[in-house]
Amino acid sequence: MKLRRKIYMVGGYNTISMGTGRKEFNPKIERPGLEYYIKEAGQGTLKQIGGAKNVDEGVIANFMAARFNYQGNLAGFMPYIDEGLTYKPCSRVEGACGSGALGLMSGIRSVLAETADVVLVIGTEVQNTVKAVYCADILAGAGWFKERKEGHAYFFPGKFSDRAGHYYEKFGKEKTRKAMAKWYVNAIENARLCPTAQEYSNTTKDLMAVGMMEPSPRSFVDNLNVFDCSKVSDGASAIAIVSEEGLKRCGIDKKDAIEVIGFGQAENDITKPPKELTKLDTTTAAVKKAFEMANITKEQIATVECHDCFTITGILAVEAIGFAEHGKGPDFVLEGNTSRTGKVPFNTTGGLVGWGHPTGATGVHQAVTILEQLTGKAGEAQINIPADRPYGLTINMGGDDKTLVSIVYKRG
């Protein structure tokens, strides 16, 4: 399948990923609400694309505002960003932790359908409104909620703890645990280079020792420690999806944009458990579709933003993309291939483990990171983008490998 129009992304903006780890975060003091993050991110992108007058349509991606914030009808916050967006169409999309990338896909399809030339996409989540165990209960809605009573108190950590346990049994615990710890080390080291990251101020000296801490089944889950987990975060990210005409309207040069050259979207049955706990089958399907549309191979990818909701998920994603054979993901990570100076740097601003995971915003944040990297505007977090590998890849996951979107980009 060939795209009927050229699609670009421009004007990326991230708020701070707020939560435990940020110096400004105090759970006992009232913090900014959902509308604050939507406005900050939206205005941050509008300033880069010439203002609200240039926008044809809006999309707000969010998972669980109805439970975290008692707020629905999020599309109604688009004009709150700027009065110039009043009466313009907007929709809200949801796909659990994959909501952000579904928002991107909504914008991409509007531009492809020629019903819009500039779409403002915002992803947001404000989750630090409840205690961690209640947060886990709310996030369980990303799975089949009928399993909730039988599931672990920390529902999704329990799900991925099971995946990790099966991986240990099949391929060995020692090397896998070391690779998971190495993934954590890379995440924090990358986050320290990004001022908006939740772990930006992390000063831990021996990160590997922290990553290697033995799990505590009595207080958490069997096969993961708390450092293997992504953050509970408040935040928002925004980006504009535009056509060639939209670029002209916004006065943006192609060198300051990234072009979407392929995407893959895949869904799996939420009522059924994974066929094989040591594989991310739906991720594999989505990535394959994206590569086929882009007409490139994994060897041409310079950097990846993957959905590392847990460190074991990062290792499984390495295998799902095809960088390592099944069971060899830990070796690939331990050899340094996914570090910022490695063969294919992953999650260069920290990913979900280091930057944070405001669930509805994550897919948009991934696109913003790729935009910054491919256009050379990532600041201290900038990596080398080889001339013969000018492509970036994102993978955003909803639930336990159920709702997947993968996108391939190149510098415009």
Q: Please tell me whether residues 126 and 269 are part of one structural domain.
A: no
In Å, how far from its chain's centre is CA 247?
25
State the pLDDT at residue 103. 98
State the pLDDT at residue 154. 87
Q: Please tell me whether residues 286 and 331 are part of one structural domain.
A: yes
Q: Please tell me whether residues 89 and 158 are part of one structural domain.
A: no
User: Comparing C-alpha atoms, which of 65, 24, 157 is closest to residue 359?
Assistant: 65
- Residue 239 domain flag: yes
State the pLDDT at residue 150. 78
pLDDT in tens, the chain (412 residues): 778 899 999 999 999 999 999 999 998 888 899 999 999 999 999 999 999 999 999 999 999 999 999 999 999 999 999 999 999 999 999 999 999 999 999 999 999 999 999 999 999 999 999 988 889 899 999 999 888 877 777 899 999 999 999 999 999 999 999 999 999 999 999 999 999 999 999 999 999 999 999 998 888 999 999 999 999 999 999 999 999 999 999 999 999 999 999 999 999 999 999 999 999 999 999 999 999 999 999 999 999 999 999 999 999 999 999 999 999 999 999 999 999 999 999 999 999 999 999 999 999 999 999 999 999 999 999 999 999 999 999 999 999 999 999 999 998 7
Domain boundary residue, one of 256, 289, 317: 256
Q: Please tell me whether residues 70 and 204 are part of one structural domain.
A: no
State the pLDDT at residue 132. 82
- Residue 138 domain flag: no
What are the start-end ranges of the H helices in 226-305? 244-250, 281-294
- Residue 250 domain flag: yes
Q: Please tell me whether residues 126 and 204 are part of one structural domain.
A: no
State the pLDDT at residue 2. 78
State the pLDDT at residue 152. 77
Domain of residue 27: give its range: 7-131+232-256
Count: domains in the chain: 2
- Residue 140 domain flag: no
- Residue 139 domain flag: no
Q: Please tell me whether residues 123 and 159 are part of one structural domain.
A: no
Q: Please tell me whether residues 225 and 238 are part of one structural domain.
A: no
Signed CA dihedral, 154, 160, 164, 169: sign only = positive
- Residue 137 domain flag: no
Burial class for 32, CB neighbours closer than 10 Å (0-12, 13-18, 19+): middle
State the pLDDT at residue 133. 81
Q: What are phi and psi of 310, to 5 degrees?
A: -145, 155
Retrieve residue 82's tokens: 């700027």
Residue 234 forms beta bridges with which residues? 18, 126
Q: Please tell me whether residues 351 and 225 are part of one structural domain.
A: yes
- Residue 16 domain flag: yes
Q: Please tell me whether residues 300 and 394 are part of one structural domain.
A: yes
Q: Please tell me whether residues 334 and 221 are part of one structural domain.
A: yes
Q: Please tell me whether residues 247 and 358 are part of one structural domain.
A: no
* Concatenated DSSP letters of 80-91: HH-GGGTTS-EE
State the pLDDT at residue 404. 98
State the pLDDT at residue 276. 97
* CATH assignment at residue 25: 3.40.47.10
Q: Please tell me whether residues 207 and 116 are part of one structural domain.
A: no
- Residue 351 domain flag: yes
Quote the CA–CA distance of 15 and 122 in Å, as a whole number: 11
Token look-up 């709310």 returns 138
pTM (global) more than 0.85: yes
